[in-house]
Chains A and B, each alone.
Chain A
Amino acid sequence: MDINQQHRLKKYGLKAAHLITLFVAMSIICLPGLWIVLNSFRPTVEIMAKPPIWIPEKLSFDHYRAMFGGVGEGGVPVVRYFMNSLIISVTSTIIAILIGIAGGYAFARYRFRGKSAIFVGFMVTRAVPGVALSLPLFIVFAKVGIIDTHFGLILAYVAMNVPFSIWLIDGFFRQVPRELAEAAEIDGCTRWQAFWKVEFPVAKAGIASAAIFAFLTSWNEYALASQLTRSVFSKTMPVGLLDFTSEFTINWGGMCALAVLMIIPALILTFIVQKHLISGLTFGGIKG
């Protein structure tokens, strides 16, 4: 075999190996999610079938219908959970982002003593494990009487989201050249005007992605929510998932349906945010 042919073969071999590995990797990423979606449309008999039925014979909306149906029909107050999740996530996100804009701006534009120490200090509060924090929060909230309320959970989520929002927003403000705001100030703007009219619009898209990220964190949080909520008045969807479990059995189909309901908003938002999220994290991290 001449050397040219050998090289060509090696090249094609490598290319095939690359594509196969990529395909396997992507399948492992996608399959678990698709499995959940598929099973949310299959009747329980088919999910439980032995030997397994690979090609679905019957697809139906039964689980969705049952889920939105009354409590007596094996339904779960999904609409309440969805609303709770929405109210808590949106409110806490808005507050966290406002605080984050102020904090991120301070880190990006001012020099002061102990800056990096304060920054790491903020981050450390985020690193406190949810379970460990939930114990004292549970005691305090019970004393103050805000357990099982939207307010209590919102408060907890704001504190949870502030450090990370500051990190992201700090990164986005750094990408805005300092000269822009300075030019505006020379032209007679106050610092406040320079911020709103020049720096904020430039960093707006980035701040929006920080907001989406904060929203997803609250939307998906479980460790704190499971202890700080008690009833349908404040239970969020991740906690609601547990309603499908009982002592010995799990209603897999119903759970898959609720899971799909939980993923869809997250999916859409992540799709919107993906580009900015990466640039925010890397700029904040690399060019600190």
Chain B
Amino acid sequence: MTRLFRRLPPWLALLLPAIVILLVVVLVPLLLSLYSSFTPYRLTRPESLYKWIGEYNYVKVATDANFWMAFGRTVFLLTVALNLEMLLGLGLALLVNKVTWGQRGLRTIMMFPMMFSPILVGFQFKFIFNDNVGLVNNALQSLGITDQAIAWLVDGKLAMFSIIFAEVWMSTSVFAILILAGLFAIPRDPLEAAKVDGCTPWQSFRHISLPFLMPFIYIAMAIRSLDVARAYDIVQIMTNGGPARRTELLWTLIGRTGYVDAKMGLANAMGYISIFLAIFFTVYFFRKLNASRTALGYNA
């Protein structure tokens, strides 16, 4: 055993523990779930694991309107949330970057939402958007803007808005922090040269700062893409997919099908589709990251 270990190239020996644990805890279970997605497996009937039904589950998923609605909603949520997070993060970073006094403190406050557990964020905003005792309704009523309680989490559209608000609140800081790091690293010379040559602030931002910031934005995107399914915790707590499936996402649907309805096979088929969605996001942003790195000439 030891001799075998020594004969491996050093890099492989060093990577081996990581490979082993990822194989055992992620890859093998995923293969099992791939298999079980071809069976009618139910938790209540273990013997159903050995019955092969081919692509039946996938056909069932593909023709299920609820599934496609959830799929569309997930993509919608991710698109809106990620874009908002990026824009707000950029704005926040620029605001903080201009501050000359107390910047360190502001940076710490900015990181505040990052340390909140997603499930805590869910409960927090469930409380804040609560129609009866929530902060938002209390404030609106005390200010006399409305005299009725607005049912933030009961109306479908408002519930989606509340969820996106919570998601953006939680994750904007990832972008803000990394973009701020990028702003610190921008070389001063080109900016000053541009000023001397008569560029407007917008022009020098658009043509000098922004291209320089792109790799940092892509790092933030790549980090976020590793964790896109965090929104599951928030949605699970705030609305649990309700009202009447108006905020049902792929992940809550999988959880419900697998654990509440106990249809593991079917849930695994859905799970695979969500996994491919996540892998697509991750690979896409890592490639973007590589490309922008090469463009900046950082290829070591």
Given contacts A102-B18, A125-B27, A220-B120, contact A26 B109 (CB under 8 A): yes
Complex interface: chain B residues within 8 A of A135 (CB): 33, 254, 258, 264, 267-268, 271
> Can you list 20 A-B pairs, Cβ within 8 angstroms, ordered by A?
A32-B124, A32-B169, A48-B132, A105-B14, A106-B12, A106-B14, A110-B9, A110-B14, A124-B282, A126-B226, A132-B272, A136-B33, A140-B29, A140-B32, A220-B117, A227-B259, A259-B120, A262-B120, A270-B114, A288-B290
B17: Cβ under 8 A from any A Cβ = yes
B223: Cβ under 8 A from any A Cβ = yes
Complex interface: chain B residues within 8 A of A25 (CB): 91-92, 95
Interface size on B, residues (CB 8 A): 99
Complex interface: chain B residues within 8 A of A252 (CB): 127, 133
B191: Cβ under 8 A from any A Cβ = no
Binding site for A on B (CB under 8 A): 9-12, 14-15, 17-18, 21-22, 24-30, 32-33, 36, 91-92, 95-96, 98-99, 106-120, 123-128, 132-133, 135, 138, 141-142, 169, 173, 177-178, 180-182, 185, 215-216, 218-219, 222-223, 225-229, 232-233, 251-252, 254-255, 258-259, 264, 267-268, 271-272, 274-275, 278-279, 281-283, 286, 289-290, 293, 296, 298, 300
Complex interface: chain A residues within 8 A of B219 (CB): 281-282, 285-286
Interface of B: prevailing SS: helix
Interface size on A, residues (CB 8 A): 88
How far apart are A110's CB and chain B's nearest CB, in angstroms? 4
Interface of A: prevailing SS: helix
Identify the 5 closest CB pairs spanning chains A and B, nearest first. Answer: A129-B229, A220-B117, A159-B25, A132-B271, A136-B29
Kindly state the separation between the CA atoms of A164 and B219 in the bound complex, as whole angstroms: 13
Check if B30 sits within 8 Å of A122, measured CB to CB: no
Complex interface: chain A residues within 8 A of B128 (CB): 32, 35
How far apart are A141's CB and chain B's nearest CB, in angstroms? 9
How far apart are B24's CB and chain A's nearest CB, in angstroms? 8
Check if B115 sits within 8 Å of A288, measured CB to CB: no
How far apart are B78's CB and chain A's nearest CB, in angstroms? 12
Check if B259 sits within 8 Å of A128, measured CB to CB: no
Given contacts A123-B282, A135-B271, A238-B119, contact A274 B107 (CB under 8 A): yes
Check if B293 sits within 8 Å of A288, measured CB to CB: yes
Report which of B12, B32, B274, B289 forms a contact with A136, defined as CB distance below 8 A.
B32
Check if B115 sits within 8 Å of A103, measured CB to CB: no
Given contacts A102-B15, A102-B18, A159-B21, contact A279 B117 (CB under 8 A): no
How far apart are B281's CB and chain A's nearest CB, in angstroms? 7
Check if A156 sits within 8 Å of B264, measured CB to CB: no
A58: Cβ under 8 A from any B Cβ = no
